[in-house]
Structure 1
Amino acid sequence: MLNVVDAHAEGESGKVVVGGVGPVPGQTMFDKMLHFSEHLDHLRKLLLCEPRGAVWHNANVVLPSNNPEADFGYIILESTEYPAMSGSNTMCVATVFLETGMLPMTEPVTRLVLESPAGLIRIEAACANGKVERVKLVNQPAFVYHQDAKIDVPGLGKVAVDVAYGGMTFAFVDAGSLGISLDVSQEAVLYDLGQRIKKAAAEQLGVSHPADPRIPGITNTSFTGPLMREEGPDGEEIVRSRNAVIVSPGRLDRSPCGTGTSARLALLHARGELVPGQLFRHESLIGSQFDARIENTTAVGPYSAVVPSISGRAWITSFNQLVLDPSDPFQEGFVVGKPWEPEGSRHRVSAS
């Protein structure tokens, strides 16, 4: 039996497993993630495959942290991979911790430190009347691998992409350059092209994370819209843009994507289009939004990098006890149809 609190952050699913898993060995959350992927992957399948899950579901397993700075730790489970970081999932986890009383809530702001597999994530949750109204997280550094790189994409020919890391590694492509409108009516086209572009970029562009070579290369495509600038109610300039992130195994991130937003901040800064402290408002295809800023600049190995912050909202949607009957023929669930087709290995350990 697994005790699960379902939640979503700006539309993106984020189940939070708060009990039933038991101890997971490892000194760090990255170590625990590796152990889980090798020895407990049946639990990921149980949570995310049919009949209990769907291709657009994610899950998080709450675990004690050995880091003295952290209040708790968590590992992230997705359809085909184990991300080391996810913005939307982190918002779900923080909201569940506070609204269920697993960690004490302080109004108007509760400060938490959670250990993700990517490292420590510092959080400020705006709270009122027992409710988490907004979660702001400071992500690990984001940086750019390639700008305006040309790749050969089957059926498209030469395509210009930028490649940046924000917890996962993204191939960014301007949607307008391909004649695509960023609208949910283009969902099937975005899926198809997103997978083709990602695969071509991963095969043709060298990417190796300088801090940990176990973090894989390009695993997502982000279709970006034009930048728009407007004046906010307090006179602050806001930079806005829409985007559509295609996540493995070929589906749309319902939120604006926290790690994709982090990577885009690094790209915009490298181009001189966004300065530290400036507000960037990222919008998904369903109209949900993340507010993001560059908190600081730093370096990751040979790459200039930014320290991104992302804020958004999350809501609890249900409380569940998932069970597995010994007579059930589908002990690890099952998958149907093309969206679940594996890409390479059975699953990937990655950083999102």
Structure 2
Amino acid sequence: MSFKSELTIDVIDTHTEGEPTRIMFWNNIPRNLKDALSVRKYFIEHYDYIRKTLLLEPRGHKDQFGAILLPPVNTESDYTIIFPTTESYLDMCGHATIGVSMALVALGYVPFEGNEKTIIYDTVAGTVKARVKIENGEPVSVSIIDVKSYFVKQIDIDINGKPVKVNLSYGGNFYAIVNSDDLGVDVEPENIDKLLAYGKVIRAKSYEILKEIYPDNKKNFYPLAMITDSKHDYRAIVTFSVNSYDRSPCGTGTAARAALLVHEGKLALDGQYVNESIIRTKFSCKIISSETVNGNIVIVPEITGRAWVTQLCKIVVDPSDPLKHGFLVQ
């Protein structure tokens, strides 16, 4: 049997509290790029087919998520990291950063001594530090110090002829946060189709408002939707991309929700809370610093969660394969 391959990529698969991350290293970029946004732009222009190859069917699925590790742009950082989805890229991703950090320690990519290892990443949203907790030589959890997070604005959007309140908040990505009571649906697995449908409308209508608020923004401000469950204080679901949803509690969503809770007076500036996903997995969040900017409270949150390596594999691309760079049915 003969076998041909025009491209071979080693990948590490992890899950963070249920949400997958497909991780790869990529060094083939210029070293003079000034920031992570420039790195991502270069990668998209030259290698976006790799995103499709890794994440789309037949090797992936519509809910697959990625993390690409590249050389750092800042001297004090260990890596630049970009976050591809099946549709585009996010500026920052908490669950993926936790998964990457666990994998780097568990598989020996970074040396460590003692009970903690700090890894610093350049992301489009800013510098993110990950502290990996180690017990008996094994990583057991990761705490990431996210970028500055803040409440943006409360708006009303029309859903099925009814005004629905949406809180726009930022935690590394923009979020449009809606209470499930206003939609008449609980955050439960059996309601996933309804939740995804609402999420799609919430994202699209909130995006139009964000374009007006940030007309000169060069980063990604198409929001993710977070639907919080009124029956459970800190349960929520985050939807994004092509009707995908986060199985984890969502790291940047947890940060954005913390900023909203502070704005509403429901979380103290030295407070903490636990965010729960639709499958009941959890992230803990505590505020490690805050400041007031133009009358708005800006926080720096620390998100803690767990991840596990699930697969080590080699992706191959046969030049004769008509679907070699993947496909997406939506």
TM-score normalised by L of structure 2: 0.92
Structure 1 residues 302 and 67 mapped into 2: Cα distance closer, same or farther (>3 Å)? farther
1:268 and 2:261 matched:
yes
Letter in 1 for 2:157: I
Q: Which runs of 5 or more residues in structure 1 are unaligned? A: 229-239, 339-352
Q: How does 1:82-121 map to 2 (within 5 A)?
A: 82-121=89-128
Letter in 2 for 1:71: D
Contact 2:206 2:223 in 1 (8 A): no
SS in 1 for 2:323: coil
1:341 matched residue in structure 2: none
Instruction: Give the number of aligned pairs.
Output: 321
- Which residue number in structure 2 is paired with residue 345 of structure 1? none
Residue 283 in structure 1 maps to residue 276 in structure 2? yes
Q: Secondary structure at the match of 2:223?
A: strand
Write the mapping of 1:113-132 to structure 2, written as runs, cut at 5 A.
113-132=120-139
CA-CA distance at 1:331 after TM superposition: 2.8
1:65 aligned partner: 72
State the match for 2:229 in structure 1: 225
CA distance 1:216–1:77, change in 2 (3 Å): closer
Kindly report structure 1 stretches of 4+ aligned residues shifted beyond 3 Å: 204-210, 299-304
1:208–1:217 contact (8 Å) kept in structure 2 = no
Cα distance in structure 2, aligned partners of 1:206 and 1:32: 24
1:104-130 Cα distance to aligned partner (Å, 9 max, x none): 123311122222222211121111123
Matched, 1:202 2:215: no
What SS does structure 2 have at the residue aligned with 1:38? helix
Checking the alignment, whether the CA contact within 8 Å between 1:141 and 1:298 is kept in structure 2 is: no
Name the aligned partner's letter for residue 84 of structure 2.
Answer: L
Q: Secondary structure of 2:234's match?
A: strand
Give SS of 1:241's match.
Answer: coil
User: Is the CA contact (8 Å cut-off) linking 1:143 and 1:300 kept in structure 2?
Assistant: no
The corresponding residue for 2:286 is 293
* Compared CA separation, residues 46 and 299, structure 1 to 2 (3 A): farther
Deviation at 1:250, TM superposition (A): 1.2
Work out the CA distance in 2 between the residues paired with 1:316 and 1:151: 41
Partner of 2:28: 23
CA distance in 2, matches of 1:160, 1:151: 7
Q: Could you give the per-residue CA deviations for residues 67-105 of structure 1, whole angstroms, max 9, x where no partner exists? A: 121122221111112112100000011111111111012
CA distance 1:98–1:72, shift in 2 (3 Å): same
The verdict on how the C-alpha distance between 1:215 and 1:299 changes in structure 2, with shifts beyond 3 A counting, is farther
Cα deviation code 1:175-233 (max 9, x no counterpart): 022221110000000011110122122224555459x71123342110012487xxxxx
Greater Cα shift, 63-72 or 263-272: 63-72
1:227–1:109 CA distance, 2 compared to 1 (3 A):
farther
Q: How does 1:1-352 map to 2 (within 5 A)?
A: 1-18=8-25, 21-25=26-30, 26-147=33-154, 149-153=155-159, 155-204=160-209, 206=211, 208-209=213-214, 213-226=217-230, 241-298=234-291, 303-336=296-329, 338=330
CA shift digits 1:270-313 (9 cap, x unpaired): 11110122121000010110000111113567743111110100
Q: Letter of the aligned partner of 2:220 in structure 1?
A: P
SS in 2 for 1:14: strand
Distance in 2, matches of 1:90 and 1:58, equals 12
Query: How far apart, CA to CA, are the structure 1 residues paired with 2:89 and 2:294?
Result: 24
- Measured at CA, do residues 221 and 66 of structure 1 come closer, stay the same or move farther in structure 2, by a change above 3 Å? closer
Q: Which amino acid aligns with 2:200?
A: Q
- Give the counterpart letter for 1:278 in structure 2: G
Q: Structure 2: which amino acid aligns with 1:290?
A: F
Percentage identity across paired residues of the two chains: 31
CA distance in 1, matches of 2:287, 2:275: 13
Q: Aligned to 1:221, what secondary structure does the other structure show?
A: strand
The match for 1:346 is: none
Give structure 2 stretches of 5+ with no counterpart: 1-7
